[in-house]
Structure 1
Amino acid sequence: MSSTEVKLSRLLGLAQKFNNFYLTGFHKGDIRPFLVEGQQVGLIKSDVLKQLHKYPEVFCIRDCEYTKQGLVELNPAFRDYNERTAQLEKVLRELRSDGLFSALQGWRDECFEVKSEHKALLKMERAATPLFGVRKYGVDINGYVRHPQHGLCIWLQQRSNTKETWPGKWDNMVGGGLSVGYGIMETAIKEAAEEASIPKDLVKNLVSAGCVSFFFESDQGLFPNTEYVFDLELPVDFVPHNADGEVQAFELLPAKECVERVFTPDFKTTSAPVVIDFLIRHGHITAEKELNFTQIVELLHVPLQSLYTYKTRLEQKLQQHQASLPNDDNNCNCTSLPSSPLENGHNKKEAA
């Protein structure tokens, strides 16, 4: 085995690291589905659940005898996007004041939308999304150069030491979350200008390269992330520079050195999938060089869109056993069923 193969064999371990929750978290038994308008939009761990019990007017927290799994539902009495958003934000601001969760220390006054399929149900402060296991979406740009001496080279940024998350870590050249009101390409162009001062005559050459998805867990919470990926070939003499104060350095690395940087603790773990995906697509990481190539590729595309299927799975189970269940509402007081009346946080029947 060549030295290159030895180095690349570490990739599977790295892919398992940024998918630590996907691989092991669902089996821990300390999570509950989070529902809004009867649709699962996230997952809530026991430490967060403990605090949500303080807000019965906002959250319906109940067990389900039939499924042996409880759930948390945003009060179904909140009828529209704005009311749901306002009621949830009151809770989040109080939790932030209490200083109970490190994730909320990075409060940004920037919101992500919480969706069921394509329908936006509410918006949530970005820093709070890990507490509710809400799917998040972002944009990453691989800036690269075909260098005459060094071959394929990749631009990396070093995040500012004042960043709320991953301060001082190395990262992709450009990256940013999809905030409320911004589209995918719109975000890519905005972040390219803010983070790397890429001019319009170059940013027009952005090439969509699909997406990567992974499910990571840290001490701040759950990160079911989908990143829309773009490639941007840059002139050899172009040097990015930061315009928004969120980046403290840039460095151009040959592909082999970039792989080594990704393996270090100085690199942002949740940005590693974007670099690995780029190196696979550009032929630097191949099945011939990497024994676990297929597993790695799969772990770059975790099926996040089909993981939150609590309602579907419950309905299927009920349909299978409906004939054997007595007609008694006390068997299952689960609000995810459309045929059962929903209850608000005060345990009163919802008005028709």
Structure 2
Amino acid sequence: MSSQPVGPGFAQWVATARQQALQPAPSQRLALVAAGHVVGSVVEGFLDQIGLQCTFHKHSLLLKEEHSGGATWHLDGAADEITPALNALASALRDQGLCGPWRGEQLAVCNAAGDVVGTVERGAVRVLGITTRAVHLVGQAPDGRIWVQKRAMTKPNNPGQWDTLMGGMVSAADTLEQALARETWEEAGLRVDELRHLTHGGHVAFSRPSREGGGAGFMVERIDWFHAVVPAGMEPDNQDGEVECFALLHPDDVRERVAQGAFTLEAGLVLAEFFGA
């Protein structure tokens, strides 16, 4: 990791960004329980918009239970019905325009102990307060400059902003290492086994309100980040159309752009950890 000094503008950005990354929900959220497992949370009144006691999948019912400590939403059904029930709920939310961008990608759903109990469409995770995982890669050239990407204007989130060399979600089908390899190839056209000194750097935690679902979303995410050296003569080449361009910048230029707000919040905080800020 870099040992270069951190400028005051960058340091102030980091302090503010860390506060932005960890924020309480602006209004009460009710636990979402599936087959006895707490898997997420929803804003008070949010699921009332799609109707009470609605059958979503076979024998799975969406029920609101009132009790002395408040209310809880339940997807009642067997453990093996969690995935189809959650995806049916996601479809119902999409039909009402209450979902985030639909991706056709399944993300893992975990209980409070961290055990995977099912999967759900990516577009529903924020409005349902479901915890997600992501992975980022900080790539350096041998001379210490840093490879960064500019997100395509067609991206549903943060179009046109700068990002780390690679940043992507960990899908339900991936381990962390598989997601790192797949996303590095898709976004940067690089094979991780051809990179040098690939190291897990740490993780950044997010829990903050989300604009999805008309502001009803809540982002809970762990970003694991890695850093590696991209060998001389090897340049990133986007494969999936989600990157507008790549740039190779001096660390001071990266810090300056982060401080100016040119990078996504997630990428900026990953780079802050990389720089030791």
Please give the range of the TM-score, normalised by the shorter of the 2 chains.
0.7 to 0.9
C-alpha deviation, 1:38, in angstroms: 2.5
Q: Report what 1:42 is aligned to.
A: 40
Contact persistence 1:14–1:263 (CA under 8 A): no
Q: Which segment is superposed worse, 130-139 or 201-210?
A: 201-210
**TM-aligned CA distance change 1:205 to 1:189, over 3 Å:** farther
**TM-aligned CA distance change 1:200 to 1:15, over 3 Å:** closer
Letter in 1 for 2:263: F
Q: Report what 1:79 is aligned to.
A: 78
- TM-score normalized by structure 2? 0.86
- 1:151-300 correspondence runs (5 A): 152-199=144-191, 201-203=193-195, 205-220=197-212, 221-280=217-276, 285=277
Q: Which one of 109, 112, 119 corresponds to residue 107 of structure 2?
A: 112
Say whether 1:18 aligns with 2:13. Answer: no
C-alpha deviation, 1:129, in angstroms: 0.1
C-alpha deviation, 1:269, in angstroms: 1.8
Contact persistence 2:162–2:264 (CA under 8 A): yes
Aligned CA-pair RMSD: 2.3
Q: Which one of 138, 141, 145 corresponds to residue 142 of structure 1?
A: 138
Contact persistence 1:32–1:72 (CA under 8 A): yes
C-alpha deviation, 1:146, in angstroms: 4.4
- In structure 1, how many angstroms separate the alpha carbons of the residues matched to 2:255 and 2:49? 41
Contact persistence 2:140–2:147 (CA under 8 A): yes
Say whether 1:88 aligns with 2:91. Answer: no
Greater per-residue strand proportion: 2
Letter in 2 for 1:72: W
Contact persistence 2:14–2:269 (CA under 8 A): no
Contact persistence 1:52–1:59 (CA under 8 A): no
- In structure 1, how many angstroms separate the alpha carbons of the residues matched to 2:85 and 2:117? 13
Other structure's SS at 1:9 match: helix
Provide Cα deviations, 1:181-220, integer angstroms capped at 9, x if missing partner.
2111111111111111113552364212232212122211
- In structure 1, how many angstroms separate the alpha carbons of the residues matched to 2:251 and 2:265? 18
Contact persistence 1:53–1:61 (CA under 8 A): no
Letter in 1 for 2:210: S
**How much identity, in percent, do the aligned residues show?**
25
Contact persistence 1:80–1:121 (CA under 8 A): yes
C-alpha deviation, 1:13, in angstroms: 0.9
C-alpha deviation, 1:29, in angstroms: 4.2
- 1:323-338 correspondence runs (5 A): none
C-alpha deviation, 1:88, in angstroms: 2.6
Say whether 1:8 aligns with 2:25. Answer: no
Other structure's SS at 2:160 match: coil
Other structure's SS at 2:231 match: coil
C-alpha deviation, 1:260, in angstroms: 2.1
Other structure's SS at 2:153 match: coil
Q: Which one of 106, 127, 130 corresponds to residue 123 of structure 2?
A: 127
C-alpha deviation, 1:263, in angstroms: 2.9
Show structure 2 runs of 5+ residues with no match: 56-60
- TM-score normalized by structure 1? 0.69
Q: Report what 1:322 is aligned to.
A: none
Other structure's SS at 1:251 match: strand
- In structure 2, how many angstroms separate the alpha carbons of the residues matched to 1:210 and 1:269? 16
C-alpha deviation, 1:253, in angstroms: 1.6
Say whether 1:59 aligns with 2:62. Answer: yes
